[in-house]
Amino acid sequence: MRDRRTRTLLRGLGGRQVSDRQPAGDSVGTSPGDPARDAAGLRARWHGKRVTVAGLGVSGVPAARTLKDLGAVVTVVNDGDDERARSQAAELAEAGITVRLGDGATLPEGTELVVTAPGWKPDKPLFLAAAEAGVPVWGDVELAWQLRGPDAAPWLAVTGTNGKTTTVRMLAAILRAAGLRTEAVGNIGVSLLDAVLPDENGREKYDVLAVELSSYQLHWAPSLRAHSAAVLNIAPDHLDWHGSMEAYTADKGRVYEGNTVACVYNAADKVTEDLVREADVEEGCRAIGFTLGTPGPSQLGVVEGILVDRAFVENRSAQAQELAEIGDIDPPAPHNIANALAAAALARAYGVAPAAVRDGLRAFRPDPHRIEHVADVAGVSYVDDSKATNTHAAEASLAAYDPIVWIAGGLAKGASFDELVGKSAKRLRGVVLIGRDRALIGEALARHAPEVPVVDLEQTDTGAMSAAVRAAARLAKTGDTVLMAPACASMDMFVNYNKRGEAFADAVRALAAEHA
């Protein structure tokens, strides 16, 4: 945990406010308006600087290229030495970048800065050596933050255990509906470096950015200061990387540091509100809650099927602004309504009009494998939520349907399933278990839902998902939902959750063809 300066939190219903703070400067002593951030100043600042980039892949390669283009002397170190790494190394070598494969532990001599891929754990020997040598370590997000121009687009940032990508894409859709140049970037898979660097004419590409940030990225972004930010929820995840729940939560809370306008929190998740209370923000920054119930002052919520705003109106104690209807959200599951409220809160903090919130939500379509309806077969609905790779995500998905035949299992990542099963037991018509750690879910079902029929599939080959879908179909009755929300990672049987979702959808379509 970083040291936090004393701050005063005004806890009135008329808008919570964190004050008595001056904004922190960047770790290298520049600010968005500093001349060192113009094109010439950037090149002067980076020319000859010896930078080590830790890791290849989707973040390391563009970071190395960007730094080389700015005049830095770049060395890339990478643990792996496989075919893909060798191919990337050859491309970088052609650009004059040194790459050391199979040696990610040794700090190159003369290194002045390390830029790391977000997934590299903080206890790696490379970082311990950097700390001993007094060399700072940044992630790709920190690098992007440092490379912003003097007229840089503000960042509206989103983190949380679940729902980040959906919320960021909703936010981008709302901002576009308001006529703003924007993009959903960051952990969503679109490089922040590409977004923050000016175009070929030296102009900023965007008016505002919707930024998804993982806990890994936030850990390595010490000077990030967003316009406004949201923490959607906090539940155990990635504890093997962070070392403890406390460290994981603290890294999520970094997204609030230095916010200038709004810290958006989940009124149903006290931890997110506590993170706001602990944050150092600019004076005047407000705490804005979102709730699935009737909102209080300085909150967004739901009243009789309408999303309403009691935060960004003139008279918060007596007025509420209609934003959209639940029917404008696809799908209108409770956790997705919460995502929409968080996105709306960030957009409203940026000054977006109510009509743009409605139009943006209507235009938004969820990514595949996120509570995606595949087909109805013989009166049973089949839903793919392969993205539910942990218990918190699966709980939200299970809460959206009743009754359910649940397909679950995979890599548990150290998770416990008792709470999830206990909360969902009354909704379950039956369960089909797949994957390496399926026994852990089976044991929780035996303890908390012993009356629910369970099919335990030992099959792990390419036909396993077809067998799971057919087993679920035998358990289901007309009006039921067969829901694949595995609560586990996919890599025991599939390359990733996308491939798992595709296998489920293919199996459902094959079943539908037989009933046609």
Contacts 24+ apart (CB under 8 A), 441-449: 441/408, 441/409, 441/417, 441/487, 443/417, 444/416, 444/417, 444/418, 444/420, 445/421, 447/418, 447/421, 448/418, 448/421, 448/422, 449/421, 449/425
Q: Find out whether 165 is annotated in a ligand binding site.
A: yes
Q: Find out whether 116 is annotated in a ligand binding site.
A: no
Asked whether the bond before 332 is cis by omega within 30 degrees of 0, the reply is no
**DSSP run (H or E) holding 127:** helix 125-133
Q: Find out whether 166 is annotated in a ligand binding site.
A: yes
Q: Is 115 strand, coil or helix?
A: strand
Other residues' Cβ atoms within 10 Å of the Cβ of residue 336: 24
**DSSP run (H or E) holding 89:** helix 83-94
**Nearest-angstrom CA–CA distance, 344 and 370:** 20
Q: Find out whether 163 is annotated in a ligand binding site.
A: yes
Give yes or no for a contact between 171 and 347, defined as CB atoms under 8 angstroms apart: yes
Report the relative pairing of strands 73-78 and 98-101 from DSSP bridges: parallel
**Nearest-angstrom CA–CA distance, 495 and 333:** 28
Q: Which bin fits 33, alpha (ψ -120 to 50), beta or left (φ > 0)?
A: alpha
Q: Find out whether 161 is annotated in a ligand binding site.
A: yes
Binding residues for ATP: 160-166
- Residue list for the binding site: 160-166
